[in-house]
Structure 1
Amino acid sequence: MSTLPGRGHTSSSTPSLDGKGGTDSAAKVGKSTKRTGPSYVYYRLYTKLGAFESNRSLYNNDHFIGRIPSKLFPPPHTVASVRRTLCKLEGLSEPDKALVFAPLSSPAPKEDSARLSLHAPSGPGLSEQDPIALVVESEKRTKDVKQPEKLPECSDDTDIHYLYYRVYSAEGEGDEEKAKTSFDEGDVSLGRINTLFIAPPHTAGSLKACIAKVEGLVTPGHALYKDMELFEDMTSDTAMGDTDVICFQGHIYPGSDGGDPVALVNATANTAADQKAEPTQAKVLSEYPLDTAATNRALSDGSESKFTKRARLLSTFGYEKDKPTWLTINRDEVVYTDGIILTVTRPSNNQSGPGYMAINSKREKGFVWQWNVEFI
């Protein structure tokens, strides 16, 4: 039988001072093994298509890493209990369908009965560098969660592991299409994504789904998705299987070198009526991914008479440091958009991604991430 911290047998010839068979000194010795100060659970949120933002984010300029005090998790600390608590505190639906990966790099989700040590000195979920991953069916929130007014800034010297890729269309026209995450004006078809944005388990299938989401391509469940193939590098003769495991730990993995990216072939754009893009405006934005002034000028173009598509917002965030480019959003608020998918870079952290220009009830106009929008 294991001994709980601070509850081991202590022999002493000193008589009891509290009438309960123990001494003050023994009690102090027992308590000395406990952690001092508050403890937290760190985590990242995903759907099968990739990462989405936490409503309990740790940083003002990085909403993808969440943190919750350990004291908010009731015992026993099983995977099932932790999963339900995370979903409740994040306002996420269908907790019984969610999966927990601890650590994030695990090849398979944890069993519901497995226990997580939320008060240990170290381990999965106990530090920002070793978060657990919660993979849910949908990003849709069931309630608002108010963010603290002041959050610290994430350090700019964070070591980001990128995955580099190229996308080739199903038509095979040979045109050099600009990647939505293009970062090099001399090679616009080369894109890159943070490996932390790829949902676990880390396989060729989850990588393919993440690239498809970022690039506005058809995603799993679409009839044409099965035709897309992911190649380990530009010289590969055979595509990777969706279940092939990819380890993003360390510095060498498929796509780790911009000179030798993975290749997604037979890619088909998502041509749903509410997601058709007008290339002229999207092109203007993507040519200036790091030029805030030019981006703001591009965002101001276009007639508001085209903003006729109604959409519901799925999250609540202020984006104070990203104004006026970004729109402050409130969950369940109805906004109007022209349905044009744009790729914009956040000034506060240089993170790029797809989204829409939207106008709220106050006639305020700004950019909203694609994953925070649900057309109605």
Structure 2
Amino acid sequence: MPPSKRAHKVKNTTVQSSLDGQEETESVISQTKSEHRNIYYRLYTKEGPLESNNPIFSNDPFISRISSKSVRPPHTAASLKKCICKIEDVEGPQMGALYSSLSEREPLEDSARLVLRGNSESEPGPGSSEVDPIILVVDKGAAEKRPKPASNTGSNELPTWNSEREYIYYRLYDDDSEAISKTSFDENDSSLGRIDIFTIPPPHTVASLKNRLVHVEEVSSQNVQLLENEDGEVTLNDDDALTLLTDDVPGSNEDRPMVFTYTQTAPDKTTTPEIPSFSKRLKATGGWVVNARKSDASLRTGRRDVITSLAKDVKCSRSMTGQGGCHAGKFPDSWGQNKFTFNLDNILQQLEPIPDKQGTTGDAPQIAIRKTCKALSSVIAGVERLQISQTKSEHRNIYYRLYTKEGPLESNNPIFSNDSFISCISSKSVRPPHTAASLKKCICKMEGVEGLENCALYSSLSEREPLDDSARLALRGNSEPGPGSSKVDPVIFVVDKDTAEKRPKPANNPGSKELPTWNEQQYVYYRLYDDDSEAVSKTSFDESDTSLGRIDIFTIPPPHTVTSLKDRLVHVEGVAGSDVQLYKTEDGEVTLNDGDAIDLLSDDFPGLNEDQPIVFTYTRKAPGQTMASGIPIFSRRLTAKGNWAGAKLDATWHSMKTGEIFQTDGVQITFRLAMSE
């Protein structure tokens, strides 16, 4: 008898020793069939995910699977590529790149042998899990040529992909400030976007993430940058690897996003003209499915997704399968050293034991991560809210005032009803890294001011020198107040007068009456004199003392010197700028020099008190020079009997309030309001 037949006979004899061989025969066949397994895979081009012709989930059309028996032996990377390309109708498998995992940085060589059969838990082969499938990156041109798949009428019957979605969060900035992200999910924070990590093609590097964001946001690929966080101090290099399947990757938390910056008009290249400007926002009020298949880009009810995968954020002091009792948990290091407690028995009672291979649960139940997270979420919900609140508080308001060299300039976005020269922006609106130049660009954009080179930024009203464009600014956090953290001491933005005149007039704000009132007014008091004696001041506030005037300290542009105060008074009083002088007191013994600094934010500066004003003198006719013919002499006084917001209707008119005193030359003239034309 030939050895092969003898061996076969022995094998049959062994099988017959148990219930006439029936049960053991079925076991052998079952074990042999089990050597074939499913191979899960995802399709990509270099720009992002590619829909499969044979999706296996109703809400994720980019993942599919084949049986290992469909792959022609020997099982190599080349034979697996050919098989997938045939099923997906993709030509040119030699142009595709196969990665054994999402985390791999290099594609497989075509000759690489793959373990595609068997279900060994100790050594699972490539593609054995939906969570970590094989990746096939195909040529974009080949992907576009493949025939469109027939409509799958049974797609509604497919199961749902229930794996917890994980995102990369990022904040979007253009040249000047924050921009509206096309992937924004919070209507109150439109520059914050996110993308599913499974939409990023391998290899997972900064370069591949950049390419994906360029495609999603539809911006030019030139001059784009990724910064590690909103501080903007660490720039990520294109070759840096990103371990997106771990818990320690930039942008993994919503409250600590990465920063993605782009240039609106790159050198010698502009954004594709077919791409429209998306300036209006719509909020989905319900779900919507295209082709009976939910995709990651389809509309979803406008709500904030709840992330329950807390197991990766919480470290327990002992194993979850231990005995009961009250045990301490610990925040991650980034949360500080605070502690909280939870009752292990109560958590275990909420979990269903998972049977082992023998069908028994055992004394210590095995706990699924998902169920553990669900149980823990209710315990530390308050803690999570506290963490998010504390982190988001790193963003703060930056208060600023606008000026030309002659005086204050109205803001397009005032925050007080009685002071239209002060406004504020959020620190998140300023493009990182936070420098004087980036803050200037942001304010210019908000205020419609062109010509950044003609602007000066002062960190405070008390500063004598403007900031260098490269100066780094602490614009986040409230522990050590940075520039602009106070309404009383805002950042100061001085723009060129011609530039200010060219900016478009702000739209009339019908809600301005609803704004709060600014109650921090403080004045410099002065007495006005011409060549001969006291003169009637245009800012007088006491009809029995018309030469006593006052100006709000916040109307004086920096730097706060005698020169800037003089310039402001010349402008307010409408007098010639030559032969003007300031004296410290009415004694007239101490002349203030032009270069002297005046600390207007202190409690000790000349003119602080009404009964101790400074003295401002001017010459009606300087030697060899006459007063400008366009400046009339205002010798008559008018007292306002009502309120009128004329300046809001036409900038060439004055607004007035009841009791205010106006000086006039007595000549009656008639003009038409600009709005009435």
Map Cα deviations across residues 110-168 of structure 1 (whole Å, 9 max, x no partner). Answer: 12111122222232213323310011221313334446542443436x23221111222
Partner of 2:583: 231
Give the aligned residue type for 1:259.
D
Post-superposition CA distance 1:171-227 (Å, at most 9, x none)? x222x32110001112110000111111111111111111111101234xxxxx2x2
Q: Distance in 1 between matches of 2:413 and 2:675?
A: 26
2:431 counterpart of 1:74: yes
State whether residues 98 and 135 of structure 1, in contact with CA within 8 Å, keep that contact through their aligned partners in structure 2: yes
CA contact (8 A) 1:123 1:130 kept: no
Kindly provide the amino acid, as one letter, of the partner of residue 346 in structure 1.
Answer: M
Q: Give, in whole Å, the separation in 1 of the partners of 2:660 and 2:516.
A: 12
Partner of 2:402: 45
Structure 1 segment 1-376 matched on structure 2, within 5 A: 19-21=245-247, 23-25=312-314, 26=332, 29=335, 32=388, 33-36=390-393, 39-121=396-478, 122-138=481-497, 139-146=500-507, 148-151=509-512, 152-155=514-517, 158-169=519-530, 172-174=531-533, 176-219=534-577, 225=578, 227-268=579-620, 271-273=627-629, 275-277=630-632, 279=634, 283-285=636-638, 288=639, 291-293=640-642, 322-323=644-645, 325-326=646-647, 328-329=649-650, 346-347=656-657, 358-360=671-673, 363=676
RMSD: 3.5
- Whether the aligned pair in 2 keeps the contact of 1:93 and 1:140 (CA below 8 Å) is no
Normalising to structure 1: TM-score of the pair? 0.67
Distance 1:188 1:53, change over 3 A: same
Structure with larger Rg: 2
Q: Which residue is equivalent to 2:318?
A: none
Paired with 1:135 and 1:210, the residues of 2 have a C-alpha distance of 14
Residues 200, 349 of structure 1: alpha-carbon distance in 2 compared, 3 angstrom cutoff: farther
- Alignment check: 8 A CA contact 1:84 1:96 kept: no
Q: Relative to structure 1, is the Cα distance of residues 145 and 62 closer, same or farther in structure 2, using a 3 angstrom cutoff?
A: same
Relative contact order higher in (CA < 8 Å, ≥ 6 apart): 1
Taking a change above 3 Å as real, the CA distance of residues 107 and 353 of structure 1, as seen in their structure-2 partners, is farther
**Does the aligned pair in 2 maintain the 1:167–1:267 contact within 8 Å?**
no
1:57 match: secondary structure: coil
Query: Is there any run of 5+ residues in structure 2 with no aligned partner, and where?
Result: 1-227, 232-243, 249-311, 315-331, 337-386
For residues 238-266 of structure 1, the C-alpha deviation after alignment (integer angstroms, 9 at most, x for no partner) is 42111101111232210012222111223
Normalized per residue, which structure has more strand?
A: 1
Residue 367 of structure 1 is matched in structure 2 by: none
- How far apart are the structure 2 equivalents of 1:162 and 1:357? 33
Using the aligned pairs only, state the percent identity. 30
Question: Which stretch of structure 1 is more off in the superposition, 69-78 or 20-29?
Answer: 20-29
Letter paired with 2:641: T
TM-aligned CA distance change 1:4 to 1:37, over 3 Å: closer
TM-aligned CA deviation for residue 346 of structure 1: 2.8
Structure 1 gap ranges (5+): 7-17, 220-224, 294-320, 338-343, 365-376
The answer to whether the 8 A contact 1:162-1:195 is kept is: yes
The aligned amino acid for 2:528 is V
Equivalent residues of 2:483, 2:490 under 8 A apart: yes
SS at match of 1:59: coil
> 1:42, 1:242 → 2: CA distance?
29
Corresponding residue for 1:341? Answer: none
Partner of 2:72: none
**Cα distance 1:40–1:190, how it changes in 2: closer, same or farther (>3 A)?**
same
Structure 2 vs 1, CA of residues 101 and 361 (structure 1 numbering), >3 Å: closer, same or farther?
A: closer
Which residue identity does 1:164 align to in structure 2? Y
Partner Cα distance (2:670, 2:444) in 1: 29
Matches of 1:361 and 1:211, distance apart in 2: 28
